[in-house]
Structure 1
Amino acid sequence: MFSRRFEPPQAKSFSKTSKANKSSSSFSKNHGVSKSRHEPRQHRRPTTAASANVQNDTGLSPTGTLTPSIVTLVIGKDQRIFAAHEDVLCASPWFQQALSNQYMDPQNSKRIHLPDEEPEIFSSVLEYLYKGDYYPRLIHNKRRNSWEIEQIQDDGQGSNESTVYHHAVDGDLLKDTVIYCTADKYGLEELKRVALRKQGLQSAIQCSTILSSARYAYANTPDTDSKLRAHYLALIIRSRSTFKRSGTMQLEMFNGGTQLFFDLFVALCNHVDDISSAQNTPRSNRHFF
């Protein structure tokens, strides 16, 4: 991937307040990372997007007018049932192809099985297709001219909307990362942009969850991906004071098995070169913008 010099991503995934705090082993609220061990959640918000009975409350669809054709979708290992208008699903090139009978159940021309998907993630994809965003929503703060995640009320039962359980890793991953990879699979470019913009806006995320999510991102994006992968490289570099003390980070690098850590090594080298170059440049020759 790094045949050329690593450049930080341009997406608004990081704020200027996200420098690592060298005096602390964990991050402040703005950093979005915690070094503490991950505690399993005991409660998760119920599915909010279209499920067995989809209602087109907003009227938003790729064609503007929905046909009554409904597609049944069987999602995950537990075969959760969802339903959606065919017009809405056809915003995705993948589903357009699926609905042309390549992946159709021969016993029902309006049924698609997706056993490898997580119901919570697919619910968010449907929510986006109908409403243009998924919970928690992205909100533009006009006063600060920045993007923020809508405030989530704590239900007192350990709910965490920033992560989702994924059977492929038998653990939690950052929800926006999984949605980005799912959107890439289904050819939903605008959903990818929404999910990318939400990356890094959460708070109190454990190192282990970030590293698991980074590995998942590498495993589920093409080598040409220059956004989500770069997001994780920049996040780890920016947060290096915490990650260098993380036992999870040490174990992950020892085990290897992914392009992630070589890319991280190259990005760190570039970062150090930039600092050295700036220090060696005569002050009179420096340009500030």
Structure 2
Amino acid sequence: MFSRRFEMAQQNKSFSKSHHKLGRSNSSFSKEAGISKRRHESRSRRPGISADTESSYADNSISAIVTLVIGQEQRIFAAHENVLRLSPFFQAVLQNQMMDSQNKKISLPDEEPEIFSSVLEYLYKGDYYPRLIHNKKRNSWELDQSVEDSRPESTIYHQGVDGELLKDTVIYCAAEKYGLEELKRVALRKQGLQSGIQASTILASARYAYANTPDTDSKLRAHYLALIIRSRSTFKRSGTMQLEMFNGGSQLFFDLFVALCNHVDDISSASNTPRTPRSGRPF
């Protein structure tokens, strides 16, 4: 049943457009990200879950099935109740709603089916496609592409946004909503490992991240600030960036201004610091 559900989810792949690659200064979105060909090593335990909790949820055969109606198209998903309860969000929903034990249903009309499919995949498998692997030789995180002739989509169309968004950013925000801290860490590591992303998509995703994370978020927001600074030569030429800043309406651009000021101050401070010659004698 689980496999059938994900076969259905795969039929709803996001449409892809051809992307223009960012400049070489954007190392996060370059070919040098190093996509690995190694197969994903299966985990014996889902990340962030204790051994006791893992064993208590191991036998899904005794767990009720919950039907989930997702998105405006009302796509149907099914999941074991004990798996959904790993999320504080669903734990509260299942406790507070009066549900028939034989006919449990949750409706999430504002969720994207493709994103929810990845959330469910994480709850069952500890990761979502494409898998995240660690390259020990390069000491870097990479995306697994062991499945030949299968290029994972890096962006999705979102019903509430005009244009494309980076999939990993939307998953991070969904993990924030569902209280899945480990999924947030996985999605954060995957940010920037895809290549060929348009500047307009990055800006739209940054705005989405600000709109769907609390002001206390210091990780995903910081990722976008650092990314824009690293790629400043590209964004300086971007008419999209000029239009975004003109329209405003987001905390993003004030944070970006502060980050750029700090960046300039760091460079200025480093250039003004007296250098001591190797002999140890002052200039």
TM-score bin (small chain): 0.7 to 0.9
Amino acid at match of 1:111: K
| Alignment gaps of 5+ in structure 1 | 1-23, 35-57
Matching of residue 177 in structure 1 with residue 174 in structure 2: no
Counterpart of 1:74 in structure 2: which amino acid? V
The answer to whether the aligner puts 1:86 opposite 2:78 as a matched pair is no
- Does structure 1 conserve the Cα–Cα contact (< 8 Å) formed by 2:66 and 2:79? yes
1:32 to 14, 29, 37: 29
TM-score norm. by structure 1 comes to 0.75
> Do structure 1's residue 122 and structure 2's residue 116 form an aligned pair?
yes
Counterpart selection for 1:222 from 198, 214, 219: 214
Q: How far, CA to CA, are the matches of 1:153 and 1:30 in structure 2?
A: 25
1:142 is displaced (CA, Å) by: 1.6
Partner of 1:213: 205
- Mark the CA change 1:277 to 1:65 in structure 2 (over 3 Å): closer, same or farther: same
Give me the whole-angstrom Cα distance separating, in 2, the residues matched to 1:285 and 1:185.
54
Q: Distance in 2 between matches of 1:282 and 1:28?
A: 28
Q: Structure 2 stretches of 5 or more lacking a match?
A: 1-20, 32-43, 47-52, 279-283
Q: What's the % identity of the aligned pairs? A: 75
Corresponding position: 1:246 with 2:243? no
| 3-state SS of 1:87 partner | helix
Say whether the 8 Å CA contact 2:25–2:231 is kept in structure 1: no
Match of 1:149 in 2: 143
The residue number in structure 1 matching 2:253 is 261
- Letter matched to residue 101 of structure 1: N
CA contact (8 A) 1:94 1:186 kept: yes
Deviations 1:245-287 (A, max 9, x none): 111111100100000000000000000000000000101299x
Task: Name the aligned partner's letter for residue 228 of structure 2.
Answer: I
Q: 2:217 corresponds to which letter in structure 1?
A: D
Q: Does 1:70 align with 2:65?
A: yes
Q: CA, structure 1 residues 69+140, in 2 after alignment: closer, same or farther (shift >3 Å)?
A: same
CA–CA distance in structure 1, aligned partners of residues 276 and 268 of structure 2: 16
Q: Which has the higher contact order (CA 8 A, sep 6+)?
A: 1
State the distance in 2 between where 1:262 and 1:185 align.
25
Alpha-carbon offset, residue 68 of structure 1: 3.1
Shift in CA distance, 177/25, structure 1 to aligned 2, threshold 3 Å: closer
Matched, 1:204 2:189: no
Quote the residue 1:9 is aligned against: none
Query: What is the RMSD of the two structures over their aligned residues, measured on CA atoms?
Result: 2.6
Given the superposition, is the C-alpha separation of residues 237 and 208 from structure 1 closer, same or farther in structure 2, using an over 3 Å criterion? same
Check whether the contact 1:124–1:135 (CA below 8 A) recurs between aligned residues. yes
Name the count of aligned residue pairs: 236
For 2:203 and 2:255, how far apart are their aligned partners in 1? Answer: 14
Change in 2 beyond 3 A, CA 1:131/1:123:
same
Q: One-letter code of the match for 2:180?
A: L
Alpha-carbon offset, residue 153 of structure 1: 4.5
Instruction: Say which SS state the counterpart of residue 141 (structure 2) adopts.
Output: strand
Native 8 Å contact 1:29 1:203 kept in 2: no
**Counterpart of 1:115 in structure 2: which amino acid?**
P
Higher helix share: 2
Aligned mates of 1:171, 1:142 — CA distance in 2? 37
Distance 1:59 1:167 in 2: 34
Could you tell me whether the CA contact under 8 Å between 2:172 and 2:184 is conserved in 1?
Answer: yes
